[in-house]
Amino acid sequence: MERFIKLEFQKGGAFKAKMLDNLAPKTCRVIYESLPFSSGALNGSFSGYVFYLMKGFDFHELENPVVFGAQPGDIFLNTNANCSVFEGKILPPRIVVAYNSSVILQNWAGYTPSNLFAKIVDADMQKFYQVGKRIRWEGREEITFSAL
Amino acid sequence: MDKLFQVEFGGGEKIIGKLLEVEAPETCRQFWESLPFEGKVLHGAFTGFAMFFFVELKVGKVENPYLCGGKPGDMFLNTYATKGLLEGKPLREEIIVPYSTSGVFWHWAGPLPSNYFAKLADTSAQELYKIGRRLKEKGAETIKISRYDQG
């Protein structure tokens, strides 16, 4: 049976996402078993129109990895396959969400192949873009992930 | 005599910068003529550890262009030599200021060769890093630039 999750934004907006269990079963399981959770989100600095969660996950395997071609609403787990270090610490695996096209998943250490594990569905993607833009212009925003 | 200017951020920090007139004369001329300036500065989404703000300059040419290798406090004018539209409108020229290393000037329409035209004081690197991280966490803030009176 298909599984769905909800992303709810502190400053307004809630969106449904479909888990891609067929494509990334292990990643989906790790994320789904962590629900519900909340985390601050920030706009990416290197990848373009994405925001990422500060919360880390303990899952390091690459399955269904993507670097190019992300579409608005695609949800990834960046497992930090390139072992990037920031301010002296190895980054934990984090959720990355594309809110527009023209995304390349990368950082200062190179490409960051990330597991595509869910996708926003049944949504006004223009509204979703505006939420992403708000995070970019207004800074950190809390997002709550829960099961639907 | 060097032409100096002062950059003031929303948090009250004031940093002195110097124009590189020999390397980028037309960019420097237009930037100098545009002062005083006030606008909004924002963290970059594509260029890495850098901040940027839109300006009303019309330099329209690439002089002293860089794509990477910018150091904290270096100032670049992105003239949008590669063109590009955002939300259906042509992009305005913008000034990019790295606050750490590891910046590459690019966006969805390709590389953005940008004119290296000014440099903030070397002593400001730590302060600039804090400002950059604040922009990322808290979003856009006001930036003011004025000519610095050396008298």
pLDDT tens track for A26-73 = 999 999 999 999 999 999 999 999 999 999 999 999 999 999 989 999
**Which residue out of B40, B41, B46, B96 would a mutagenesis test of the A interface target, given it has the greatest number of A Cβ atoms within 10 Å?**
B46
List CB contacts (< 8 A) between A102 and chain B.
Answer: 107-108
> CA B67 to CA A76: how far, in whole Å?
28
**Which residue out of A43, A45, A97 would a mutagenesis test of the B interface target, given it has the greatest number of B Cβ atoms within 10 Å?**
A45
Within 10 angstroms of residue A81's Cβ, the number of other Cβ atoms is 17
User: How far from A109 is each of A43, A46, A78, A131, B111, CA to CA, in Å?
Assistant: 18, 10, 13, 28, 18
Using the structure block, give the residue that is written with the tokens 């910046």: B103
Q: What is the pLDDT along chain B (151 residues), one digit of tens a residue?
A: 899 999 999 999 999 999 999 999 999 999 999 999 999 999 999 999 999 999 999 898 889 888 888 899 999 999 876 667 777 787 788 999 999 987 788 887 778 889 999 999 988 889 999 999 999 999 999 999 999 987 7
The chain A residue lying nearest B43, using CA atoms, is A45
Give all domains of chain A, ordered by start, each with its CATH number. Answer: 4-147 (2.40.100.20)
The chain B residue lying nearest A100, using CA atoms, is B108
Q: Is B67 on the interface with A (CB under 8 A)?
A: no
Q: Do B48 and A108 lie within an 8 Å CB cutoff?
A: yes
Domain count, chain B: 1
The CATH number that applies at residue B21 is 2.40.100.20
Domain that holds residue B126: 4-147
Helix (H, G, I), strand (E, B) or coil at B9: strand
- For residue A36, what is the DSSP state? S
